[in-house]
Amino acid sequence: MEFTMTHVVFLILSAVALIGAVGVVTARKLFHAALFLVLSFIGVAGFYILLEVEFLAMVQLLVYVGAISILIIFAIMLSRRMMAPDVEARNEQWLLGLGAAGVLLAILVFVLLNVQWPVTESQLPPETISYLGMALLSPDLFLLVFEVASVLLLVALVGAVIIAREK
């Protein structure tokens, strides 16, 4: 296999994503762990750009870096004692967590080794966004899934309002 620029970029991005992921589980302070998570997300966004799906990369940045990690950081900041440096990073469930992570790893490795990934030589069309939009809103493809997801989000929103509302 020929070693190209793409491979170099891929290795750098993998390093970023993996350092971030390792940092999440090893960082002593929870706030640092959350920031490492952001680093990992940014690495994944880089993979999307490498795969020439800029839209997904931007959505990854917007949703994961801009919204979810901020949410996690706020959850950490608002929890009592979570900010203190002497809080133990592990709790009594670490064995269960390790087991679940091990099972997930086994499944991923199994899939990676056993599936024949289809490869095509054809080029991506220049404007993938419009195809994505068409696919999401066409009745033959993903319209139902799209609408169900929207309704789910709306229910979550209304639920949040009801919980937060004063009597």
Partner 1 sequence: MDFILNFWVELGAWFGGLLSSWGLPPWAVDLIADFLGVLILVVCGVMAVLIFTPMERKVIARMQDRPGPNRVWPYGLLQAIADAIKMLTKEDIIPTNADRALHMLAPLIVAIPALLLFAVLPWGPGLIGANLNVGILFIVAVGTIHVLAVLVAGWGSNNKFSLLSAFRVVNQLLAYEIPMVLCILTVVLFTGTMKTQGIVEAQTVPYFIVMPVAALIFLISALAEANRSPVDLLEADSEIVAGYMVEYSGMKFAMFFIAEYVNMFATGIIFATLFLGGWKFFGLEDVAPVLTPVIVFLKATFVIFLMLWFRATYPRMRFDHLVGFAWKFLVPLALVNLFLGAAVVKITANVWGQAVLMLVGNIVLAAAALFIVNRAARKLKDAPALKRIVAVER
Summarize as ranges the residues that interact with partner 1 (CB under 8 A). 29, 31-32, 35, 38, 54-55, 58-59, 61-62, 65-67, 69-70, 73-74, 77, 126-129
Residue 36's nearest CA partner among 47, 46, 25 is: 25
How many whole angstroms separate alpha carbon 2 and alpha carbon 6?
Answer: 10
CB of 1 to partner 1, least distance (A): 20
66 or 146, CB closer to partner 1? 66
φ, ψ of residue 125 to 5 degrees: the values are -65, 150
CB of 36 to partner 1, least distance (A): 12
Identity of the residue, 77 or 105, whose beta carbon is nearer to partner 1 in the bound complex: 77
Q: Which of 8, 75, 17 is nearest to 44 (CA)?
A: 17
Q: How far is the CB of 75 from partner 1 (least distance, A)?
A: 12
Nearer to partner 1, 14 or 130 (CB): 130
- The alpha helices in 30-142, defined as continuous H runs, are 30-50, 54-60, 69-78, 94-114, 128-137
